Structure 1
Amino acid sequence: MSVELNYLDTGGDGVPLVVIHGLFGSADNWRSHVKAWEATRRVITVDLRNHGRSPHVEGMGYDAMAEDVTRLLDRLEVPRAHLLGHSMGGKVVISLARLAPERVASLIVGDIAPVAYGHDHDTVFAGLRRLEEGKPANRREADDLLGEHVKERAVRLFLATNLERGEEGGLRLRLGLDEIQEDYETIMGPTAGEGAFSGPTLVLRGANSHYVTDEMLPALREVLPEAEVVTLEAGHWLHAEQPEAFRDAVDRFLVRR
């Protein structure tokens, strides 16, 4: 069953750019990029199920998440869109492109391939669980709790974007953490759909990331045969580490569409 997703829409004419975050992210993470893009195009940023301000429900399958986004496009009366997804969001947009290619004007994939990955978030789950049980009163306490398991400050700052003020005054997570962790194997698995998406595609990968290695490119091109692969001097969070280079690559790709 599809979920009615939370979204932000800048409005405007033309084919919109739909932006989809990765695991533990939200539409809020893309505000600076949206400010730049909204001057020239309509931008719609989405909170996937169990993330941001969208509902918490069981199931993190890519077919279901792609259906959520398709139903949102229906609600907004958007027949076709440029789709941009980072990490898990990249797998969502690849899945949507395979399942409903007629809805996709072009595809932009941020540092992910349509393949299965191994476990990579054990410390993150441990840190988020520590946050839940610790019930921090402020962000300094939250950072200390996260720091017991997550040593990288940049990762802690990213995870802390999921905190909101609770009714009793402390900070709480707005993630559907139980639902995400229960279906983590599916999240780390391959994309949904069969066959290839033959439309215009840009894949942006980080030079310092292991998510789209040269060894993965043959499998990627089986699913995305028209993919233009651009490597940025960044890690996995390339849109945050190299925002201007990321945005320039996206703009150069979209201006040709």
Structure 2
Amino acid sequence: MPILSAPDGTELACHVLGQGRPLVVLPGGPMRASAYLGNLGGLDAHRQLWRLDLRGTGESAVPADPATYRCDRLVDDVEALRLHLSLERMDVLAHSAGGSLAMRYAARHPDRLGRLALITATPWALGMPATAEDRLAAARLRESEPWFTDAFPAFEAWLAGSGDFDPVFLPFFYGRWDDTARAHADREEDETNDDAGDLYGADGAYDPDVTRTGLARVAAPVLVLAGELDGGPRPALARRTADAFPAASLPLWTGVRGPSAVGRASPADRDHLASVPGMDTEMRTVQANGITLAYRAWGPQDAPPVLLLHARGADGADWSEIAPALAAGTRRVYAPDLRGHGRSDWPGDYGYEAMRDDIHALLGAFGIARADVVGHSLGGAVAYLLAQHSPHLVRRLVLEDVPAPFPLDPPRPPAERPDGDLPYDWAMILATDQQRNAPNPVWWDHMGRITMPTLLIGGGPTSPIPQEQIAGLADLLPDARRVTVDAGHLVHEARPEEFLAAVGEFLSPAARTPS
């Protein structure tokens, strides 16, 4: 079980299930240990789940300062987990009260979010609590249940403040009231830190105006999932939550409520969650250069090919919002996992030239004589090495915020491996750091061999890549153009519309030649 330290020294525990690209999971309660979520109804078959026990719950330590239980104070713990995983951006799934923590995180760190799923999350962070009327309206949908006659009056009295909490109305918090649900409810008292829960929403926890302003800058795809039987949130309130994000989808699951939407999902529910936009994990493999490369593909097989190469630490799923738009019936788009990443082989040799040769062999395995190639960061370096080595394979080249092959000054120090399983081979991090510190001088000397039209996209002053290096590359290449999108290093994630506009125009059908 991985243990990490929060900024204030509190030890935080994570429970890791499954394999694949990490999915950080924030539990509800508020302040209930993550154990109640289990494997999210089988979602660990598609993703590697990192279930975080919030401080003071489950296996995580009790903090010295109880005020740090407040929702906005927990944002630093979530960011500590991202840093622990060495991810430039991470996918997050949050349930119930954990949704407000996820929204506070997204508002504070919009560029660090890959994808976000809010599962039956009441939007306290937006100043929109579920009302008693919402909860009673959802409860009335259960009037055919055998327990309804006894449960509803007690529930109504509790919501009105004229009655105490009564376990008789616990069924309203579950989509199916069966033995599994009863056992789940019986564990709640032992799994919940009630004192911490009382402080979770203390004054200052949410700040709806600040949260809304921050969420307006979230370019990542967001799934807001509402259950038909859920009173917090009702589907209408979930829609208002989705409206706070620039790119949110809102499917409605009928007959589902609360924990049934995650920890007790049916097989059909699991398929739905695995196939929502941004969560598609269908993989294919191909033998290339003596190893197995995993890849994703979009678009008609006979359409002109485009190859998308991801950054270090990511995988082909990084392009899952860009690739469908590029395909759009006019292109065949491929997004492989580079060696040492995701579900491709982790062979131990991580030279840039080896990655280049993998892509050369992959194109051969697909029978592609010529393709447009788009590369981000490390993937951009692999792309320009391919264009130098085999210019006949590359029709047009797009380099997104790519580092020039100059020695780092000062050199990057040896990195310390984070605890726990990683979605990439740590040896790849060490090997690529060495090559960034001392790149092969031939890589720069051979830039003149890149004669095909090339588009360089810089991330502007907030990017860690020196933008003067990107300008220098553009000046050196015979047929280059350069655009700057002030989005930081993750241009295609933070500003997908601007990225697609620039790339789509550059890869215009009028300039194509047969592959």
TM-score, normalised by the number of residues in structure 2: 0.39
The aligned residue for residue 418 of structure 2 is 130
The letter for the 1-side match of 2:390 is A
Which whole-Å deviations, capped at 9, do the CAs of 1:148-184 have from their partners, x for residues lacking one?
xxxxxxxxxxxxxxxxxxxxxxxx3231112431442
Taking only aligned residues, the RMSD between alpha carbons, in angstroms, comes to 2.4
Which whole-Å deviations, capped at 9, do the CAs of 1:77-132 have from their partners, x for residues lacking one?
01100000000100000000000000001000000143225278769x54xx3332
Matched, 1:29 2:318: yes
**Which secondary structure state, in structure 2, belongs to the residue aligned with residue 8 of structure 1?**
strand
The aligned residue for residue 236 of structure 1 is 489
The letter for the 2-side match of 1:218 is G
Instruction: Compare CA radii of gyration and give the structure with the larger one.
Output: 2
Residue 204 of structure 1, aligned match among 449, 457, 470:
457
Matched, 1:76 2:366: yes
Q: Is the 8 A contact 1:114 1:220 kept in 2?
A: no
1:59 is displaced (CA, Å) by 2.5
Report the Cα distance in structure 2 between the residues aligned to 1:21 and 1:177, rounded to whole angstroms: 17
Report the Cα distance in structure 2 between the residues aligned to 1:82 and 1:18, rounded to whole angstroms: 6
The letter for the 1-side match of 2:350 is M
Matched, 1:12 2:266: no
1:221 is displaced (CA, Å) by 3.0
**Which secondary structure state, in structure 2, belongs to the residue aligned with residue 229 of structure 1?**
strand
Relative contact order higher in (CA < 8 Å, ≥ 6 apart): 1
1:225 is displaced (CA, Å) by 2.4
**Which secondary structure state, in structure 2, belongs to the residue aligned with residue 186 of structure 1?**
helix
Matched, 1:174 2:464: no
The aligned residue for residue 135 of structure 1 is none
**Which secondary structure state, in structure 1, belongs to the residue aligned with residue 449 of structure 2?**
coil
- The structure-2 alpha-carbon separation of the partners of 1:230 and 1:183, relative to structure 1 and needing over 3 Å to count, comes to closer
**Which secondary structure state, in structure 2, belongs to the residue aligned with residue 6 of structure 1?**
strand
1:62 is displaced (CA, Å) by 1.9
The aligned residue for residue 501 of structure 2 is 248
Report the Cα distance in structure 2 between the residues aligned to 1:29 and 1:122, rounded to whole angstroms: 27
Matched, 1:213 2:467: yes
The aligned residue for residue 99 of structure 1 is 389
The aligned residue for residue 114 of structure 1 is 404
Residue 479 of structure 2, aligned match among 226, 238, 246:
226
**Which secondary structure state, in structure 2, belongs to the residue aligned with residue 130 of structure 1?**
coil
The letter for the 1-side match of 2:332 is R
Q: Is the 8 A contact 1:62 1:187 kept in 2?
A: no
The letter for the 2-side match of 1:5 is L
1:218 is displaced (CA, Å) by 2.9
1:25 is displaced (CA, Å) by 0.9
- The structure-2 alpha-carbon separation of the partners of 1:174 and 1:82, relative to structure 1 and needing over 3 Å to count, comes to same
Report the Cα distance in structure 2 between the residues aligned to 1:190 and 1:115, rounded to whole angstroms: 6
Matched, 1:184 2:437: no
- The structure-2 alpha-carbon separation of the partners of 1:183 and 1:21, relative to structure 1 and needing over 3 Å to count, comes to closer
TM-score, normalised by the number of residues in structure 1: 0.75
Report the Cα distance in structure 2 between the residues aligned to 1:227 and 1:98, rounded to whole angstroms: 14
Q: Is the 8 A contact 2:304 2:332 kept in 1?
A: yes
1:210 is displaced (CA, Å) by 4.0
- The structure-2 alpha-carbon separation of the partners of 1:105 and 1:73, relative to structure 1 and needing over 3 Å to count, comes to same
Residue 379 of structure 2, aligned match among 84, 89, 99:
89
**Which secondary structure state, in structure 1, belongs to the residue aligned with residue 484 of structure 2?**
strand
Report the Cα distance in structure 2 between the residues aligned to 1:120 and 1:25, rounded to whole angstroms: 23
Report the Cα distance in structure 2 between the residues aligned to 1:2 and 1:212, rounded to whole angstroms: 35
1:14 is displaced (CA, Å) by 3.1
Gap runs ≥5 in structure 2? 1-288
- The structure-2 alpha-carbon separation of the partners of 1:50 and 1:100, relative to structure 1 and needing over 3 Å to count, comes to same
Q: Is the 8 A contact 1:85 1:110 kept in 2?
A: yes
Which whole-Å deviations, capped at 9, do the CAs of 1:31-69 have from their partners, x for residues lacking one?
111121221311000110101111112222221111000
- The structure-2 alpha-carbon separation of the partners of 1:63 and 1:37, relative to structure 1 and needing over 3 Å to count, comes to same
1:213 is displaced (CA, Å) by 1.8
Gap runs ≥5 in structure 1? 133-171
Percent identical among aligned pairs is 31
- The structure-2 alpha-carbon separation of the partners of 1:93 and 1:182, relative to structure 1 and needing over 3 Å to count, comes to closer
- The structure-2 alpha-carbon separation of the partners of 1:70 and 1:188, relative to structure 1 and needing over 3 Å to count, comes to farther
Matched, 1:64 2:354: yes
**Which secondary structure state, in structure 2, belongs to the residue aligned with residue 84 of structure 1?**
strand
1:220 is displaced (CA, Å) by 4.6
- The structure-2 alpha-carbon separation of the partners of 1:77 and 1:187, relative to structure 1 and needing over 3 Å to count, comes to farther
Higher mean Cα deviation, 39-48 or 174-183?
Answer: 174-183
1:243 is displaced (CA, Å) by 1.0
- The structure-2 alpha-carbon separation of the partners of 1:183 and 1:243, relative to structure 1 and needing over 3 Å to count, comes to closer
1:73 is displaced (CA, Å) by 0.5
Q: Is the 8 A contact 2:412 2:433 kept in 1?
A: no
**Which secondary structure state, in structure 1, belongs to the residue aligned with residue 322 of structure 2?**
helix
1:6 is displaced (CA, Å) by 1.2
Report the Cα distance in structure 1 between the residues aligned to 2:378 and 2:437, rounded to whole angstroms: 8
